[in-house]
């Protein structure tokens, strides 16, 4: 008997499989259970988030496919083997490829039909708020690809399973293992394994972005699954070994070509952003900055590899790669590698370290604007300059004595700053000051002359940065206050004392109260690391700021304060919290240009002195303070309209209606044919 061609075999088997799906009661039972589970997911997540969006729903629904797809796939080849009819089927004059593809197609169509119920939820959400349909479509496409890949793998396993239950159970275990390797970052070869997890391949699609590399990944999994199924069936019917090996080699070659051509490694440029505002497409400014950098760009993210923040930074880096900007990403677990964090000068969770050549920049938050700005700064051939004023009795950066500042200069060198002195009264001081990324006033009791104060004021007016460490103690703060007069803060005479201090020395205050969420002190507060402040003067913050503060948009943030048992001078009976460090941020935006002046004030110069810098959290505080103060304006052109949807308010009647439309009605529609099919099955 002649063997029919592929198309006739495929059509005949597909008709048989689809008819079987329509007539079997199990089909409707599976559908009913699925729509109830997915409907409950939808209702629960909508109640929790309150947003008309299916991103979290898709993530949860994808995990259910690990169980659903093997149950569907086991209905085919494994069921025939269990009934003893598989050998009969294989003896038919059918194309083996047509048989496998038809069975696979029927399984996939059933799974896709179930997944397509998600559009019921999109329709429901559209009644209560604005829905980003394109974003939901991207997530839906990812589910279709995932269901197809899972079906191919489950079909291969069912081809050799002696029972339906055994085939389904084994397929669930295999798919669950593949799904779980997304958490393998901490294992040996973990990053490679995690990148192969299908869960990682749908992260971007859930946010509305499709990458060719992800679709190619699922295509390769499908091809491998079908190839293995064919090989197992050929082995079942005793195909000659040479022909068997030739088929395996052909399948391997096709898989390799598709994998290489589509960039399954994840670095192929290009993406399809289906969000309405294209908010996950890299801006032209970011693309230009990234392509202008000559050399590799390395991004180190200090987050838990399994956290939502890790997903966010992975998707952000993929956005750059899709635009042709070469970035490498290394996710560092702060709990497992604290020594590496300390070595790199990173103080807490959620930070990014951007390296370009020998330069590096620390970023305190994720986002395209922040990352592009850091790449721009790190990519320049410019060593940042920290200028220490001299000529007024200040501490010197070449002084190794206990009172000197050589230790602070060395510490700043470790985070990319070159320290040098600057004499404001010298000829050419204005030009020299213009080359300073930050001016640091390290104490000093001498007065600033009028010309010097005017020079500093002009520098700050044009976006300059300054950190003042007051001499403290009994020194008259009038000279330093002259520099701060325009910023709504002043140092008050008298030494701050506190009951919380070094033993027997209330003027050596051990301060552990960080009263704000400033990035300067967030990590210190989280780790409960105190700062030693010796002989400090209190910093008074004037209501409404300085004379031009409101108009200029000053933001004065207390960074460090004493306990409630602190007093000034001899007034031990007047205890209260005393502020000993503040940060001042003055920003102005004109069009796409941002001008930002930042000033930090610490009430004691001893915080940075050689003998006190290594103690407690002094070094960490000053390093963070200098980096925050000297941070350059971000590239606002690297930002897009964030888009998104607004939360919706649901009444009790709305919630009841959603339950009916998302759970009850679909379940009834799926289960209504069940009694009819059961009765028909009993009749034979």
pLDDT level of residue 409 (50, 70, 90 thresholds): very high
DSSP 601-638: EES-GGGGSTTTTTSTTHHHHHHHHHHHHHPPPP-GGG
pLDDT number for residue 413 = 83
At 154, which helix (H) or strand (E)?
Answer: helix 133-158
pLDDT at 498 over 80: yes
For residues 512-522, give the mean pLDDT.
91
Please report, rounded to a whole number, the percentage of residues in the chain having pLDDT higher than 70. 85
Q: How confident is the model at residue 89 (pLDDT cuts 50, 70, 90)?
A: low
Q: How confident is the model over 93-115, as a mean pLDDT? A: 87
- The answer for residues whose C-beta is within 8 angstroms of residue 664's C-beta and 6 or more apart is none
Task: Copy the structure tokens of residue 584.
Answer: 């001042």
Nearest to 116 by CA among 70, 147, 76: 147
Q: What are phi and psi of 595, to 5 degrees?
A: -110, 130
CB 566 within 8 A of CB 610: no
At residue 566 the predicted structure's pLDDT band, cuts being 50, 70 and 90, is very high
- Helix or strand holding residue 121 (H, E): helix 118-126
Which DSSP string corresponds to 268-336?
A: -S--EE-STT-TTSPPHHHHHHHHH--S-EEEEEES-TTSHHHHHHHHHHHHHHHTT--EEEEEE-TTT
For residue 265, name the pLDDT band (cuts at 50, 70, 90): very low
Model confidence band, residue 263 (pLDDT cutoffs 50, 70, 90):
very low
pLDDT exceeds cutoff 70 at 287: yes
User: pLDDT higher for 262 or 91?
Assistant: 91
Residue 387 to residue 673: CA distance in whole angstroms: 81
Lowest mean pLDDT among 223-232, 443-452, 503-512: 223-232
The pLDDT tens digits of the residues spanning 191-215 come to 777 788 899 899 999 989 999 989 9
What confidence score (pLDDT) does residue 546 get?
A: 39
Residue located via tokens 């051939």 = 381
Query: Does residue 39 carry a pLDDT above 90?
Result: yes
pLDDT of residue 150: 95
Angle subtended by helix axes 55-74 and 96-115, to nearest 10: 140
Lowest mean pLDDT among 125-134, 493-502, 605-614: 125-134
Average pLDDT for 39-58: 90
- In this model, does residue 549 exceed pLDDT 50? no
Contact 561, 577 (CB under 8 A): yes
Reduce the DSSP state of residue 27 to 3 states and report it.
helix
Q: Is pLDDT at 612 greater than 90 in this prediction?
A: yes
pLDDT of residue 241: 58
Q: pLDDT band for 90, please (50, 70, 90 cuts).
A: low
Through-space distance between the first and last CA atoms of the chain, rounded to whole angstroms: 31
Three-class SS state of 266: coil
Confidence bin at 680 (pLDDT 50/70/90) = confident
Residue given tokens 């913050």 in the structure block: 541
C-beta separation of 350 from 383 below 8 A? no
**444 SS3 class:** coil
Residue 502 bridge partners (DSSP)? 505
Mean pLDDT of 384-406: 95
Say which range, 85-99, 368-382, 426-440, 653-667, has the weakest mean pLDDT.
Answer: 85-99
Residues paired with residue 297 on neighbouring β-strands, in sequence order: 327, 356
Above 60 in pLDDT, residue 266?
Answer: no
Amino acid 569: pLDDT: 92
Q: What is the DSSP annotation of 657-683?
A: HHHIIIIIHHHHHHHTHHHHHHHHHHH
3-class SS string, 434-488: HCCCEEEEECCCCCCCHHHHHHHHHHHHCCCEEEEECCCCCCCCHHHHHHHHHHC
Sign of the Cα pseudo-torsion (69, 72, 73, 78, in order)? positive
pLDDT score, position 606: 97
Q: What does the pLDDT look like over 581-592, one tens digit per residue?
A: 999 998 765 544
Residue count (the chain): 684
Task: Show the DSSP H helices in 181-211 as ranges.
Answer: 190-195, 198-201, 203-206
Query: How far apart (Å, rounded) are the C-alpha atoms in residues 75 and 55?
Result: 31
Question: Distance between CA atoms of 429 and 413, rounded to whole angstroms?
Answer: 23
Task: Record the tokens describing residue 164, joined without a space.
Answer: 């339906």
The pLDDT assigned to 252 comes to 62
* Per-residue confidence band for 340, with pLDDT thresholds at 50, 70 and 90: confident
Q: What is the pLDDT of residue 526?
A: 85
Instruction: Provide the 8-state DSSP code for 424.
Output: T
**Domain definitions of the chain by residue range:** 6-208+652-683, 287-377, 383-636
Report percent pLDDT > 90 for the chain: 44
Indicate if the pLDDT at residue 244 is higher than 60. Answer: no
Judge: domain 287-377, CATH 3.40.30.10. Answer: yes
| Alpha-carbon gap, residue 30 to 670, rounded angstroms | 9
Inter-helix orientation angle 133-158/55-74, to 10°:
20
Is pLDDT above 60 for 260? no
Q: Which two tokens stand for residue 494?
A: 């008298």
Overall average pLDDT of the 444-460 stretch: 92
The band of 501, judged by pLDDT with boundaries at 50, 70 and 90, is very high
CATH for the stretch 383-636:
3.40.50.880
Burial of residue 597 (CB within 10 Å: 0-12, 13-18, 19+) is buried
Burial annotation 384-394 (CB, 10 A radius, 16+ → b, else e): bbbbbbbbbeb
pLDDT bucket at 552, cuts 50 / 70 / 90: very low
**Residue 590, number of CB atoms within 10 A of its CB:** 7
Listed range (277-291, 338-352, 451-465, 628-642) with the worst mean pLDDT = 628-642
Q: Structure pTM?
A: 0.69
Lowest mean pLDDT among 113-117, 444-448, 627-631: 627-631
Confidence of residue 222 (pLDDT cuts 50, 70, 90): very high
C-alpha–C-alpha distance, residues 561 and 555, integer Å:
17
Q: Which pLDDT belongs to residue 239? A: 53
Confidence (pLDDT) at 519: 86
Q: Among 525, 501, 529, 528, which Cα is nearest to 514's? A: 525
The per-residue pLDDT for range 621-639, each reduced to its tens digit, is 998 899 889 876 666 566 6
The span from the CA of 464 to the CA of 479, in Å, is 19
Model pLDDT for residues 150-160, shown as the tens digit of each residue: 999 999 888 87
315 and 203 Cβ atoms separated by less than 8 Å: yes
């Amino acid at each position: 008997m002649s063997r029919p061609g592929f198309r006739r075999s495929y059509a005949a088997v597909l008709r048989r499989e689809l008819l079987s799906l329509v007539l079997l009661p199990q089909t409707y039972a599976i559908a009913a259970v699925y729509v109830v589970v997915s409907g409950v997911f939808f209702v629960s997540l909508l109640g929790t988030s309150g947003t008309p969006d299916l991103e979290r729903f898709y993530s949860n629904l994808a995990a259910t496919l690990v169980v659903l797809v093997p149950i569907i796939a086991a209905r085919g080849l494994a069921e025939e083997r269990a009934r003893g009819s598989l050998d009969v089927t294989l003896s038919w004059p059918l194309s083996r490829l047509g048989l496998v593809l038809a069975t696979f197609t029927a399984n996939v169509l059933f799974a896709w039909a179930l997944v397509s119920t998600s559009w019921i939820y999109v329709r429901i959400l559209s009644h209560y708020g604005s829905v980003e349909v394109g974003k939901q479509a991207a997530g839906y496409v990812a589910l279709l690809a995932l269901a197809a890949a899972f079906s191919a793998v489950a079909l291969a396993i069912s081809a050799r399973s002696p029972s339906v239950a055994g085939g389904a159970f084994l397929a669930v275990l295999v798919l669950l293992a593949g799904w779980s390797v997304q958490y393998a970052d901490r294992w040996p070869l973990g990053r490679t394994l995690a990148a192969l997890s299908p869960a990682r391949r749908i992260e971007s699609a859930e946010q509305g972005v499709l990458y060719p590399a992800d679709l190619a990944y699922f295509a390769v999994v499908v091809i491998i699954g079908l190839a293995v199924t064919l090989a197992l069936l050929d082995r079942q019917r005793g195909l000659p070994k040479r022909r068997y090996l030739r088929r395996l080699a052909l399948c391997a070659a096709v898989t390799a070509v598709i994998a290489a051509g589509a960039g399954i490694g994840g670095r192929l440029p290009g993406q399809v952003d289906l969000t309405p505002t294209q908010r996950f497409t890299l801006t032209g400014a970011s693309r230009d900055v990234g392509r202008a950098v000559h050399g590799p760009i390395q991004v180190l993210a200090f987050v838990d590899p399994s956290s939502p923040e890790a997903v966010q930074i992975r998707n952000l880096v993929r956005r750059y790669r899709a635009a042709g900007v070469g970035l490498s990403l290394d996710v560092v677990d702060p709990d497992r590698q604290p020594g590496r964090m300390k070595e790199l000068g990173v103080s807490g969770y959620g930070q990014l370290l951007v390296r370009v050549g020998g330069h590096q920049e620390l970023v305190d938050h994720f986002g395209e604007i922040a990352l592009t700005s850091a790449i721009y700064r790190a990519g320049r051939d410019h060593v940042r300059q920290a200028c220490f004023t001299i000529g007024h009795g200040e501490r010197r950066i070449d002084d190794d004595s206990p009172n000197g500042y050589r230790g602070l200069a060395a510490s700043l060198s470790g985070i990319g700053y070159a320290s040098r002195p600057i004499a404001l009264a010298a000829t050419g001081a204005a030009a020299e000051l213009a080359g300073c990324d930050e001016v640091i006033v390290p104490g000093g009791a001498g007065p600033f002359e009028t010309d010097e104060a005017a020079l500093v004021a002009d520098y700050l007016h044009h976006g300059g940065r300054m950190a003042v460490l007051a001499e403290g103690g009994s020194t008259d703060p009038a000279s330093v206050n002259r520099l701060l007069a325009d910023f709504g803060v002043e140092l008050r005479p008298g030494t701050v004392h506190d009951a919380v201090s070094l033993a027997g020395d209330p003027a050596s205050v051990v301060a552990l109260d960080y009263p704000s969420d400033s990035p300067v002190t967030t990590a210190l507060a989280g780790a409960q690391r105190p700062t030693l402040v010796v002989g400090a003067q209190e910093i008074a913050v004037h209501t409404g700021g300085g004379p031009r503060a409101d108009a200029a948009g000053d933001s004065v943030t207390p960074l460090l304060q004493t306990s409630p048992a602190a007093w000034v001078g001899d007034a031990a009976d007047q205890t209260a919290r005393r502020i000993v460090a503040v940060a001042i941020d003055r920003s102005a935006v004109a069009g796409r240009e941002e001008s930002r002046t930042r000033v930090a004030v610490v009430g004691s110069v001893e915080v940075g002195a050689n003998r006190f810098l290594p103690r407690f959290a002094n070094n960490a505080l000053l390093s963070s303070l200098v980096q925050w103060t000297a941070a350059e304006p971000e590239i606002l052109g690297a930002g897009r309209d964030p888009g998104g949807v607004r939360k919706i308010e649901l009444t009790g009647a709305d919630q009841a209606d959603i339950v009916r439309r998302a759970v009850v009605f679909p379940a009834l529609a799926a289960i209504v044919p069940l009694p009819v099919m059961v009765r028909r099955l009993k009749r034979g």
